[in-house]
């Protein structure tokens, strides 16, 4: 092979490798949504889906089983609110639509917007914990000194694996990001 042929061959191969790198970069970008899909499929990280209003209509109540649902909360640094569940736990039949309430209060003299981030444990249960209406679907605004009851309607899917008897729902309330 003479030098010119070789230079040409080298350039061709470099081009191919640059495509590989471009592919790797695209793959990296794709990993972020892929990760979220993985979380939703496996229940990893206890992330719950959005409104399950449709699924609720065709739901059959399983009266033979009880599941305990516990509620807890964290107010993250920087949010001048108090925030706690009104009830610490309730017992439900899978499929039964239930209402739970959290109480939030703005203790500062300015309007504050917050965003609640839900998390369910055990992570596996998050696939079966369905919210119909939740204050975490939107940002919440509280006027200075305002106190507000925040409702949550949900049900536990009857498909919940038998060995899960207790589900804990936690909300981390953050100061809403811009």
Is 45 a residue that touches another protein (CB under 8 A)? yes
Q: Which of 50, 101, 109, 141 binds another protein (CB under 8 A)?
A: 109
Handedness of CA 12, 16, 17, 18 (dihedral sign): positive
Please report the DSSP string for 34-45 in residue order.
Answer: HHHHHHHHH-GG
> How far, in Å, CA of 81 to CA of 57, rounded?
35
Is 75 a residue that touches another protein (CB under 8 A)? yes
| Touching another protein, residues 153-172 (CB under 8 A) | 163-166, 168, 170, 172
Is 94 a residue that touches another protein (CB under 8 A)? no
Return the closest-CA partner of residue 134 out of 157, 110, 150, 155: 150
- CB of 59 vs another protein, minimal distance in Å: 22
| Touching another protein, residues 4-43 (CB under 8 A) | 6, 9-10, 13-14, 17-18, 20-21, 24-25, 27-29, 31-32, 35, 39, 42-43
> How far, in Å, CA of 160 to CA of 164, rounded?
7
Question: Could you tell me which residues come within 8 angstroms of residue 150 by beta carbon, excluding any fewer than 6 positions away?
Answer: 101, 102, 103, 104, 116, 135, 140
Query: What residues make contact with another protein under the rule CB under 8 A?
Result: 6, 9-10, 13-14, 17-18, 20-21, 24-25, 27-29, 31-32, 35, 39, 42-47, 70, 72, 74-82, 88-89, 107-110, 112, 115, 117, 119-125, 144-145, 163-166, 168, 170, 172, 174-178
């Amino acid at each position: 092979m003479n030098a010119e042929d070789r230079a040409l061959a080298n350039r061709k191969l470099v081009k191919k490798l640059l495509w590989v790198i471009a592919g790797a970069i695209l793959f990296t970008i794709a990993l972020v949504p892929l990760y979220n899909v993985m979380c939703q499929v496996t229940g990893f990280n206890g992330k719950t889906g959005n409104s399950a209003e449709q699924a609720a209509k065709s739901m059959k109540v399983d009266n033979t089983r009880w599941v305990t649902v516990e509620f807890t909360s964290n107010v993250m640094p920087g949010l001048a609110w108090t925030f706690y569940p009104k009830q610490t736990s309730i017992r439900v039949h899978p499929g039964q639509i239930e209402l739970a309430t959290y109480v939030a209060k703005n203790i500062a003299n300015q309007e504050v917007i917050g965003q609640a981030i839900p998390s369910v444990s055990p992570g596996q249960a998050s696939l079966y914990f369905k919210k119909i209406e939740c204050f975490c679907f939107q940002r919440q605004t509280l006027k200075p000194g305002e106190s507000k009851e925040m409702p949550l309607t949900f049900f536990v899917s009857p498909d919940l694996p038998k060995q899960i008897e207790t589900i804990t729902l936690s909300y981390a309330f953050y100061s809403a990001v811009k």
